[in-house]
Amino acid sequence: MKKKEPYIPKKFPPEKIEWKEIIPLIGMANSAIARFDGMLQGLVNPSVLLSPLTTKEAVLSSRIEGTQATLEEVMQEEAGFTDKKISSSLKEDIKEIINYRNALTFAEGELSHRPMTLGLIKDIHAILLDSVRGKDKSPGEFRNSQNWIGIPGMPMEMSRFVPPDPIILQEHLERWEKFLHFDEFPDKLVQLAIIHAQFEILHPFKDGNGRTGRLFIPLFLFWKKLLTKPSFYLSEYLERNRQQYDDKLLFITEKGDWQGWIEFFLNAIIKQSEINIGKSKKMLELYEKSKMEFAAATQSQYAIAALDTFFKKPIINTSLFLKTTAIHNRGTGNDILKKLVNAKLIKLLKPSEGRKPAVYIFYDLLNIVEDKKIC
Ligand SMILES: Nc1ncnc2c1ncn2[C@@H]1O[C@H](COP(=O)(O)OP(=O)(O)O)[C@@H](O)[C@H]1O
Ligand SMILES: [Mg+2]
């Protein structure tokens, strides 16, 4: 077997880009992002409306890493509802998924008063890997040992790719960071494609490189003002085309094929944008329809607040519902929930049991996020 050596990065950013060949793709990808942002700007409260998509992104990006948890399992755990005894590994998966979402929220806040730097990337990583499982993976620290990409547990000789030696890592990271700020580059989306791939090639952390690199995608678009909110997610496409995603990254270092990677990435943006716009529109329609239905069913001043709560947390228990909706009277809250169930707008997932509060679910929203046609 050929001995695997750590990769020595070539000139960065790459020089040989055949711009002419990708002009049509660049045009389509940029207008796809612009359309998505136009839709975002039309939303009164995008954080509330799109919050289930953020959780979904966290689930899918983490699934590329190998976590097993589903969106519903994450939401059920957050609602304090578990119909079966869950394993500690699933609990850890869920924690990592919630960390991913928290890292995104944190970074969005930071970017309002701080530029994107290696320091911020480390802070994001620290949140992402803040868990029992992440403890031995140096959260928030660049690696000082050799790592490799392949099937977990396999020796380096059998790996697919060996990232650079830690001794030269810092120098290449600094070059990478400089490129983040290079605003004269001809196109931001091509720049982002290159930034994401080079981050994965450098593999600066012991673990969590894939997730940090994918988290970076909406953050870069937001930071460079292509988006009003960092809510353009790509992991659904990358998860569906995972083999191609990994192969195209590999071909950069194996064959110097930046062109193939850039084309793949621009195509991903174009395809994912259609999906994201479609889902967001359906969610907006549901919100508008539900506004009237929630008001009619509850006849309450809290109707819209209750709807916002179900958008933020489509699976929720009574206590959290009262808190999030800012209803101080338990009787009022219970009455609203009862009326919503009677009007078939939400469903009772689990009745209260002793001191455990009841759990409710807003199926219509989950079905859109999960692409289900049932219920
Ligand atoms: N050949 C490759 N070259 C560079 N990066 C790769 C290659 N194959 C896969 N990757 C990236 O490495 C990630 C896995 O790295 P890892 O540190 O385990 O991240 P995470 O723990 O978040 O999955 C993949 O999600 C992908 O982004
Ligand atoms: Mg990993």
228 token code pair? 């009003």
Tell whether 94 and 123 lie within a shared domain.
Answer: yes
Q: Do 150 and 173 sit in the same domain of this protein?
A: yes
SS3 assignment, position 113: coil
d(CA 78, CA 318): 12
Statement: residue 90 has pLDDT above 80: yes
CATH of residue 362's domain is 1.10.10.10
* 253 and 297 belong to one structural domain: no
Q: For position 83, what pLDDT does the model report? A: 63
Domain stops at, among 222, 256, 278: 278
For residue range 302-332, what is the model confidence (pLDDT) as tens digits? Answer: 999 999 999 999 999 999 999 999 999 999 9
Alpha carbons 189 and 264: distance in angstroms, whole number: 12
Confidence band (pLDDT; 50, 70, 90) for 374? very low
Kindly state whether residue 96 falls inside one of the protein's structural domains.
Answer: yes
- Among residues 224, 243, 278, which one ends one of the domains? 278
Q: Ligand 1 pocket test: which of 7, 61, 149 has the largest number of ligand atoms within 8 Å of its C-beta?
A: 149
Q: Is the pLDDT of residue 275 over 90?
A: yes
- In this structure, which amino acid lies at residue 334? N
| Contact present, 163 and 148 (Cβ < 8 Å) | yes
Q: List, for residues 149-162, the tens digit of each pLDDT value.
A: 988 888 898 999 99
In terms of Cβ atoms closer than 10 Å to its own Cβ (0-12, 13-18, 19+), residue 325 is buried
Domain count, the chain: 2
Residue 218: phi and psi, rounded to 5, are -65, -30
Supply the residue whose CA is at minimum distance from atom 27 of ligand 1: 210
Rounded to an integer, the average pLDDT of 83-91 is 82
261 with 146, same domain: the answer is yes
Q: Judge whether 205 lies within some domain.
A: yes
- Whether ligand 1 lies within 6 angstroms of the CB of 201 is answered as yes
Domain membership of residue 13 (yes or no) is no
**Length of the chain, in residues:** 375
User: How much is the average pLDDT of 162-170?
Assistant: 98
176-232, pLDDT tens digit by residue? 999 999 999 999 999 999 999 999 999 999 999 999 999 999 999 999 999 999 999
| φ, ψ of residue 154 in degrees (nearest 5) | -80, 145
* Helix intervals (H) in 142-234: 166-180, 188-202, 209-223
Q: In what order do the strands lie in the sheet with 347-350?
A: 315-317, 359-361, 347-350
Gap between the Cα atoms of 258 and 156, Å rounded: 25
Q: Is 75's pLDDT higher than 60?
A: yes
Ligand 1 pocket, 200 CB below 6 A? yes
Residue whose token pair is 């975002």:
40
Q: How confident is the model at residue 47 (pLDDT cuts 50, 70, 90)?
A: confident
Separation CA 4–CA 2 (nearest Å): 6
* Nearest in space to 130 (alpha carbons), one of 108, 97, 153: 97
DSSP structure class, residue 301: T
pLDDT of residue 1: 54
Please name every residue paired with 178 in a beta bridge, in sequence order, or none if there are none: none
Domain boundary among 236, 252, 278: 278
The helix (run of H) or strand (run of E) holding residue 316 is: strand 315-317
Question: Do 245 and 287 share a domain, yes or no?
Answer: no
250 pocket-lining for ligand 1 (C-beta < 6 Å) = yes
Q: Measured in angstroms, how far is the CA atom of residue 106 from the centroid of ligand 2?
A: 21
pTM for the predicted model, two decimal places: 0.94
Ligand 1 in contact with 67 (CB < 6 A)?
no
Residue 368 has pLDDT above 80, yes or no: yes
Range of the domain at 40: 19-278
